[in-house]
A and B are shown apart, each in its own frame.
Chain A
């Protein structure tokens, strides 16, 4: 199967690969997997005092489409509020990368990683706020 140019670009030059300190209270970590293909994706966000995502990193082991989907969302996430980030839908990712139907689950995985990272951050913040 031939990959689309944007997928190839993200695959060959992935943006924001790496890790943030998962124990930092300002960092939310989303870890998701696609059991049907054995892909695993880690997406991390750093949220500043204004509630804006100041940094995003990912690490994905999987096919080109899964790597491209996570690379793309790290670019999109920076500068967004958490609510804006939550409004990102897998269909937007799939459209941007022109993913074929068999690869839609890669974009679902990326959307799920965002949601998991944000909910991890929010549950940490509750812990911080608690007396």
Chain B
């Protein structure tokens, strides 16, 4: 089986040996290539590396690339091409899921700045005011009685409140990322806050699910 060789600048086609550069397909024989090492998620979609991102600008290239790499198109090809199409499509999906979600996008930028792991290791959070708010939200959710008629409306109030908090954190992240030399420690802090709110919404979804099951 062919063993594609990779380097930082690019590589030669594993199939016809012509120079590929870093493209996903060989310009000479059009055969699919391996995922570029250290491939940047933003450049995959031809987007600037930035937190601010227009969802539509992500969606269009994502769908186009998905068509290009779709394993169905390689079903009649050899084993290497089938494997590479799967690699490409996996990488593409991971890149899309990372960039489409503000928290994951912010974490990715933090990680790319070489600071993600370093800051995350200080795994404890002692901002008592913030934690108290989280605790109050959680308690309010806990007090919702799923047997009661008004439970759905109560959940909606909590959801609106949480969505407001999420929107606020995303706006703060926009500001923090949008400067020449971002304050990465502050970004890490707000990533954490955003994660707390997202987890709360997940917990809320679970309670809502219980109500649907009762009704169903």
Contact = CB atoms under 8 A, between A and B. Distances in A.
Given A38-B196, A38-B198, A40-B196, A32 B135 contact: no
B138 interface: yes
B125 A32 contact: yes
A112 B125 CA distance: 10
A61 interface: yes
B126 interface: yes
Contact of B195 (A31, A32, A38, A105): A38
Given A32-B131, A35-B192, A61-B138, A116 B199 contact: no
A86 to B, nearest CB: 17
B138 A40 contact: yes
Contacts, number: 57
Interface string B166-210: 000000000000000000000000011001101110010000000
B126 A34 contact: no
Interface string A60-73: 01000000000000
Given A42-B135, A61-B138, A36 B123 contact: yes
B135 A31 contact: yes
A8 interface: no
A36 B199 CA distance: 11
A59 B131 CA distance: 12
Interface of A: 31-38, 40, 42, 59, 61, 105, 108-109, 112, 116
The 4 closest A-B pairs by CB, nearest first: A38-B199, A35-B192, A33-B125, A61-B138
